[in-house]
């Protein structure tokens, strides 16, 4: 047998035909998140100078190029991608005022110091699909990873599996609420039948006993896992943590890090490194990118723009165009002489960028998989390192690279003030409190402080509600022939998606202007 589509459609009537009504009633398409982008009409004869071969600059060149624009991208670095960057053996970086770092990773291993993950609703996935970039699941959430806080209470400086903290916190809070509802202590505007349903929900949610007590749960795992035959039998459980210990540990405050829309499962990563996205654009733009071109001046002319840049030899060169798309991060842009309006210059200087750092640590053995049974996911801690990421690829391989720290603001500044080698030492020292295998298995590392990385000077635009209101509208207004683009011109700051959305918006705006002939 093999039922065909035609057969199904003719048979549906048997069940009352209401599938058709359902088809009409339901929205078939979340158009705002699924639409493919394309410009129509021609931009032939128009020249666009794009500053920066990051994902925003390249996406703009790619989309404008499709409809005939002549684009030239000036890129200060000797590589494309900007923050969409993957570090492999031999790659090097010298931070502002810093020492030279050369990656000593094993061939085949890599580290994404910048963005690393893609939510499933992102425009980023659309480009991966268009370019045929293979993707794999980024395990942003792993219940087997740890929490570790130097805090108050009996859980201080103890590593605890996420599943233990979650099961116990859910258990205790569900018990409290279920009892309060059951004993009618809350003023709930629902029927007693619905109250019973609510209590039943909480009983499941917390794995409570019939009399609404939380007495621990297999959800938190076992000290001896269930097996076969009579030994080890049904599994041996530990007692739950008490509510007081959990509250004092602060672990509960980590739960919500997985709740925000951009951190929810399913998440993805490109197979082989985040820079596969940058490389896919770069391949399609190979003759349009000038590398080692550091922008020195941005000037308006009678009919467009004139950009002065220093080439690899330091020699000053000039290019002209009808339009300019400037994707240079604002902390860098504010230091470049230009004809931009005073109002725009004030906005450029007014937006703060995130201070953030990350390290990649190569280990001789994937002890987190072999010993701890942690495959992907994130350990969270209030130590300076803030997070440890376990790789979401090459499971079982002999070696692997962990993200040894990923921290922000004060912690990132403190870590960033150290030389790269000392950052690695700090990440190893702190990480070994959670993974004592660190000293024995560590081989080599690479550490980045984004606020000290040349041509970036920050992780991403970090708007406050004030700067968003005061400066964002100005930044989004073209200044004559000059348009700003990048993650900082979006509500998805820090995400490749923000850069891509911005590129599409600016490409559309320029194209609209060209087509209207104004």
Interface positions, 56-95, toward a second copy (CB under 8 A): none
**Contact between 297 and a second copy (CB under 8 A)?**
no
**Contact between 255 and a second copy (CB under 8 A)?**
yes
Shortest distance in whole angstroms from residue 104 CB to a second copy: 4
Q: What is the radius of gyration, based on Cα positions, of the chain?
A: 27
Per CB under 8 A, contacts with a second copy among 13-32 are 14-15, 18-19, 22-24, 26, 28-30, 32
Choice from 392, 407, 456, 462 touching a second copy (CB under 8 A): 392
Nearest residue (CB) to a second copy, 244 versus 312: 244
Shortest distance in whole angstroms from residue 319 CB to a second copy: 26
Rounded to whole angstroms, the Cα distance separating 271 from 249 reads 37
**Contact between 253 and a second copy (CB under 8 A)?**
yes
Applying CB under 8 A, the span of 168-176, 327-335, 349-357, 452-460 interacting with a second copy comes to: 168-176
For residue 165, give the nearest of 142, 151, 147, 177 by alpha carbon.
147
**Contact between 248 and a second copy (CB under 8 A)?**
yes
**Contact between 96 and a second copy (CB under 8 A)?**
no
**Contact between 444 and a second copy (CB under 8 A)?**
yes
**CB of 161 within 8 A of CB of 146?**
yes
Nearest residue (CB) to a second copy, 349 versus 422: 422
**Contact between 377 and a second copy (CB under 8 A)?**
yes
**Contact between 371 and a second copy (CB under 8 A)?**
yes
Applying CB under 8 A, the span of 204-212, 315-323, 336-344, 410-418 interacting with a second copy comes to: 204-212
For residue 83, give the nearest of 278, 353, 272 by alpha carbon.
278
Q: Burial, 297: exposed, middle or buried (Cβ in 10 Å; 0-12, 13-18, 19+)?
A: middle
**Contact between 381 and a second copy (CB under 8 A)?**
no
Sign of the Cα pseudo-torsion (31, 32, 35, 38, in order): positive
**Contact between 421 and a second copy (CB under 8 A)?**
yes
**Contact between 343 and a second copy (CB under 8 A)?**
no
**Contact between 419 and a second copy (CB under 8 A)?**
yes
Q: In what order do the strands lie in the sheet containing 377-381?
A: 159-161, 146-148, 377-381, 387-390, 400-408, 356-363, 442-449
Three-point CA angle 265, 450, 401, nearest 5°? 55
Distance set, CA 358 to CA 145, 196, 239 (Å): 19, 49, 36
Shortest distance in whole angstroms from residue 281 CB to a second copy: 17
Whether residue 180 is preceded by a cis peptide bond, meaning omega within 30 degrees of 0, is no
Applying CB under 8 A, the span of 109-117, 289-297, 401-409, 494-502 interacting with a second copy comes to: 494-502
**Contact between 221 and a second copy (CB under 8 A)?**
yes
Choice from 235, 409, 417, 464 touching a second copy (CB under 8 A): 235
**Contact between 219 and a second copy (CB under 8 A)?**
yes
DSSP symbols for 7-71: HHHHHGGGGTSHHHHHHHHS-S--HHHHPPP---S--TT-EEEEE--BHHHHHHHHHHHHTT-EE
| 296 HSE (CA, 13 A, CB side) | 13
Angle between helices 275-283 and 55-66 (to 10 degrees): 30
Choice from 506, 510, 511, 514 touching a second copy (CB under 8 A): 506
Shortest distance in whole angstroms from residue 253 CB to a second copy: 6
**Contact between 436 and a second copy (CB under 8 A)?**
yes
Nearest residue (CB) to a second copy, 23 versus 302: 23
Alpha helices, H only, 316-381: 330-333, 342-350, 367-370
**Contact between 238 and a second copy (CB under 8 A)?**
no
Per CB under 8 A, contacts with a second copy among 29-58 are 29-30, 32-34
Choice from 445, 458, 459, 494 touching a second copy (CB under 8 A): 445
**Contact between 154 and a second copy (CB under 8 A)?**
no
Give me the torsion for CA of 452, 457, 462, 467, rounded to 10°: 130
Rounded to whole angstroms, the Cα distance separating 503 from 487 reads 9
**CB of 347 within 8 A of CB of 390?**
no
Nearest residue (CB) to a second copy, 218 versus 417: 218
Distance set, CA 26 to CA 10, 11, 22, 35 (Å): 21, 21, 6, 18
Shortest distance in whole angstroms from residue 166 CB to a second copy: 8
Residues 451-490: x/- map of binding to a second copy (CB under 8 A)?
----------------------x--x------------xx
Size of site (CB under 8 A) for a second copy: 147
């Amino acid at each position: 047998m093999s039922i065909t589509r035609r057969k199904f459609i003719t048979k549906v009537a048997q069940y009352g035909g209401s599938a058709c009504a359902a088809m009409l009633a339901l929205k078939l398409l979340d158009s705002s998140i699924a639409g493919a982008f394309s410009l129509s009409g021609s931009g032939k004869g128009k020249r666009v100078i794009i500053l920066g071969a990051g994902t925003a600059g390249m996406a703009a060149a790619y989309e404008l190029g499709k409809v005939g624009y002549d684009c030239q991208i000036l890129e200060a670095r000797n590589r494309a991608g900007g923050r969409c960057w993957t570090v492999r053996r031999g790659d090097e970086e010298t931070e502002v005022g810093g020492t030279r770092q050369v990656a000593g990773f094993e061939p085949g291993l890599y580290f994404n110091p910048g963005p690393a993950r893609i939510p499933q609703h992102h425009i980023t996935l659309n480009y991966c699909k268009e370019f045929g970039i293979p993707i794999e699941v980024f395990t942003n959430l792993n219940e087997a990873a740890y929490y570790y806080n130097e805090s108050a209470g009996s859980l201080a400086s103890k590593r605890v599996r996420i599943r233990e903290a979650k099961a116990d916190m859910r258990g205790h809070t569900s018990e409290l609420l279920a009892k309060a509802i059951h004993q009618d202590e809350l003023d709930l505007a629902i029927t007693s039948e619905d109250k019973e349903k609510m209590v039943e929900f909480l009983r499941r949610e917390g794995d409570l006993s019939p009399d609404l007590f939380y007495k621990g749960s297999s959800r938190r795992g076992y000290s001896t896992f269930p097996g076969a035959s009579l030994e080890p039998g049904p599994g041996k459980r530990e007692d739950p943590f008490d509510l007081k210990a959990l509250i004092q540990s602060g672990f509960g405050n980590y739960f919500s890090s997985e709740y925000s829309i951009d951190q929810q499962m399913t998440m993805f990563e490109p197979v082989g490194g985040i820079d596969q996205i940058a490389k896919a654009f770069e391949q399609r733009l190979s003759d349009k990118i000038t590398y080692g071109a550091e922008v020195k001046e941005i000037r308006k002319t009678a009919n467009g723009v004139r950009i002065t840049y220093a080439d690899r030899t330091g020699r000053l060169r000039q290019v002209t165009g009808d339009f300019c798309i400037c994707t240079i991060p604002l902390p860098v842009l504010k230091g470049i002489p230009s004809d931009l309006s005073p109002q725009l210059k004030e906005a450029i200087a007014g937006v703060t960028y995130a201070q953030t750092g990350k390290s990649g640590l190569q280990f001789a053995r994937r002890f987190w998989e072999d010993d701890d049974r942690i495959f992907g996911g994130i350990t969270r801690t209030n130590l300076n390192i803030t997070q440890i990421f376990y790789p979401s690829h090459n499971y079982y391989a002999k070696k692997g690279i962990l993200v040894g720290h990923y921290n922000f603001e004060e912690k990132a500044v403190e870590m960033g003030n150290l030389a790269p080698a000392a950052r690695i030492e700090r990440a190893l020292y702190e990480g070994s409190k959670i993974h004592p295998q660190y000293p024995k298995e560590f081989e080599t590392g690479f550490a980045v402080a984004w606020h000290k990385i040349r041509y970036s000077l920050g992780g991403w635009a970090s708007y406050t509600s004030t700067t968003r209101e005061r400066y964002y509208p100005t930044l989004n207004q073209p200044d004559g022939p000059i348009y700003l683009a990048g993650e900082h011109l979006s509500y998805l700051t820090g995400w490749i998606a923000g850069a891509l959305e911005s590129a599409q918006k600016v490409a559309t705006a320029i194209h609209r202007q060209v087509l209207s002939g104004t």
